[in-house]
Amino acid sequence: MAYPFLFISFLIIFFRALKRSFSSWYALIGTFFLSSIPLLVFHASTAYSDFPQAFYYCAATIYLFLFFKTFKANKSASFGFLLISAFLLGISVWVKKSGLYYAGINILVASFFIFSERKNLSWEDKKSLGLAFLIFLLLCLPWLSYHQFYTLKSYSSEALTSLPKLPFLTLGREVVQAIWRNAFFEDNWHLLGILFLATLLLFPKLSFAQPHLYLLIIIFLQWLMIFILFCFTRLDRFIFDDTLLNRLTLHFVPVILYFSIEVIGTYLEIGKKEELKK
C-alpha cells in the first residue's frame, strides 16, 4: 500500500530537484520520463523491495548531486541537501543488502569531492560534514551490527573462494554483453540507454565537467559493481537470467535519467543566456 506513495514522493523529489535549475515545463517533462520507465512503474506496484531501494538510494544520490552543484554558490543550502542525502542513504542500507555497496559508492565520491574542496572548507563546514556522516552512521550502524557485516563477510568469502565455472575472460565478456544488452536493447527502460549515450556523445564537455562528472562517476561505479558481482561471486550463475540484472540496474536507473536531463538542460540554459547576450 505504501509503494504508490513512495512513487508519488519520488516524482515530487525528482521534479523539485530539476525545477531548482530549469523551467517548470522542462522539469515536468523530465519527471514524465521518470514516471514512464516500464520496470520502475511495475515494481512500484509489486511487493518486491527493489523499488524502495531505488527510491531511497536515487533520492539520496540526487540530493548529493544538489550538494555538489550548490556548494560554491550557497553553502547553507548545499549542506541542507547533504543532510537529507545522508538520511536517505542511511535508510537505503536497511532496505536491501545491496544498499551497503551503494552507500559505499556515494561516500567514496562525496569524499573525493570534499577532498578537492578542502581548501574552501571552514570550521563550520567541517562540523556540517561531520553531522551528515553521524546521521548516516546512526541510521545504518544498528543494521550493520545486526546483519550486514555478516553479509559483507559472506560476499567477500564468496568472492575469494568461489571460482566462476566459465573462464574469466569468457565470463567477463558475457557480463559486458548482458549489461550492454540490458541497457540498449531491451524495453525495460524505453530509450534511456540511447539517451544516456547520446548525452555523452553530444555534450561531452558538460558531461565530464563538474558537477555532472561526480554523477557520472557514480553511474560508472554502479555498473562496475554489477560487473564485479557477476564475475567474482556466486551471482555468476545468474548472468544468463536477466531478472537479477534488471533488478540491480533498476536501483540506479533514475540517476542515469537525472544525469541526462541535467546535462541537456544545462546546455539549453547556456544557449538561452548566449541568445540574450546577442
More confident residue, 16 or 47: 16
Whether residue 211 has a cis bond before it, omega within 30° of 0: yes
Give me the number of domains the chain comprises.
1
Which pLDDT score is estimated for 47? 78
258, pLDDT greater than 90: yes
Average pLDDT, the chain: 88
Which pLDDT score is estimated for 218? 97
Which pLDDT score is estimated for 65? 98
Place of cell 518486491: 48
171, pLDDT greater than 80: no
Contacts within 8 Å (CB) and 24+ apart, 147-151 = 148/93, 148/97, 148/100, 151/97, 151/100
Predicted confidence band of residue 166 (pLDDT cuts 50, 70, 90): low
Place of cell 565520491: 109
Q: What is the pTM of this model?
A: 0.91
- 84 vs 99: CA distance, rounded Å: 16
Residue at 208: amino acid letter: F
More confident residue, 241 or 74: 74
Predicted confidence band of residue 152 (pLDDT cuts 50, 70, 90): low
pLDDT, mean of residues 146-173:
59
Which pLDDT score is estimated for 107? 96
Cα(first)–Cα(last) distance of the chain, in Å?
Answer: 54
More confident residue, 56 or 242: 56
Which pLDDT score is estimated for 275? 66
Which pLDDT score is estimated for 116? 94
User: Considering only CA atoms, which of 67, 82, 86 is closest in space to residue 215?
Assistant: 67
Predicted confidence band of residue 147 (pLDDT cuts 50, 70, 90): low
Which pLDDT score is estimated for 33? 96
Q: Which domain holds residue 80?
A: 2-277
pLDDT in tens, 87-139: 999 999 989 888 889 999 999 999 999 999 999 899 999 999 999 999 999 99
Which pLDDT score is estimated for 45? 86
51, pLDDT greater than 50: yes
More confident residue, 189 or 238: 189
- 157 vs 151: CA distance, rounded Å: 10
Which pLDDT score is estimated for 160? 46
29, pLDDT greater than 80: yes
